[in-house]
Amino acid sequence: MARGTLVILSGPSGVGKDTVINAWHARDPRVERVVAYTTRPPRAGELPGIDYHFVTVQEFLRLAEAGAFLEFKEVHGNHYATPLHDMEEMLAAGKIAVLKIDVQGALAVMELRSDAVSVFLMPPSADELERRIRARNLDGPDVIYRRLLNAREEMALAHHYQLQLINDSVEEVVGRLVGVVQ
């Protein structure tokens, strides 16, 4: 069996990363998101092992010390990490292992894994991104403001990625991803 492909997928909050991954998986069942670890509490509707592996700070630090993570970082007081074993297992099984990861983590992975295909999802416009973030009804005004500031900073680093795709049509983005990975 051929080894799988590692894909780094980043983009600002609200750009549609989960929607794209789900549509891509529906088109190609080999596509699997590597479920990250975090110390932050689950949000409403998030499921352990599906959205994230939710762990205590002590457990996270123990795993980091044991070398269980490809990369890990602290963002806004919470820890996040990419599990090395899960990712390698997917690749060995011939899967398309997708790391849905922020820019900071993505840049670290790019340094460690030259075999990764890096993709940055861009919104069609700043106004559309703000509309999407507000439409989710997940955050208060302060968090929305911070997400929009972070989005500008993240988009300024998109040039580090091999591919930048504007997510104005999920089907077109998925079609481009299929073409790039094959």
Q: How far apart are CA 76 and CA 36, in angstroms?
A: 16
Q: How far apart are CA 18 and CA 10, in angstroms?
A: 10
In this prediction, residue 14 carries a pLDDT of 87
Q: What is the mean pLDDT of residues 20-27?
A: 98
In this prediction, residue 182 carries a pLDDT of 81
3-state SS string over 67-94?
CCEEEEEEECCEEEEEEHHHHHHHHHCC
Whether the pLDDT of residue 40 is over 90: the answer is yes
Can you say whether residue 94 is alpha, beta or left, with left for phi > 0 and alpha for psi between -120 and 50 degrees?
left
In this prediction, residue 132 carries a pLDDT of 85
Q: Is the dihedral of CA 67, 70, 76, 79 positive or negative?
A: negative
| Cα three-residue angle 81-110-72, rounded to 5 degrees | 15
In which residue are the tokens 């509309």 written? 131
In this prediction, residue 27 carries a pLDDT of 97
In this prediction, residue 152 carries a pLDDT of 93
pLDDT digits (tens, 9 = 90+) for 41-59: 998 889 999 999 999 999 9
pLDDT digits (tens, 9 = 90+) for 129-169: 888 888 877 777 888 888 888 999 999 999 999 999 999 99
Q: Is the dihedral of CA 134, 18, 170, 172 positive or negative?
A: positive
Domain residue limits, the chain? 5-181
Question: CATH assignment of 5-181, given 3.40.50.300, 3.30.360.10, 3.30.450.40, 3.40.640.10?
Answer: 3.40.50.300
In this prediction, residue 64 carries a pLDDT of 97
pLDDT digits (tens, 9 = 90+) for 71-126: 999 877 899 999 999 999 999 999 999 999 999 999 999 999 999 999 999 999 98
Closest CA to 83 of 120, 107, 55, 111: 55
In this prediction, residue 16 carries a pLDDT of 93
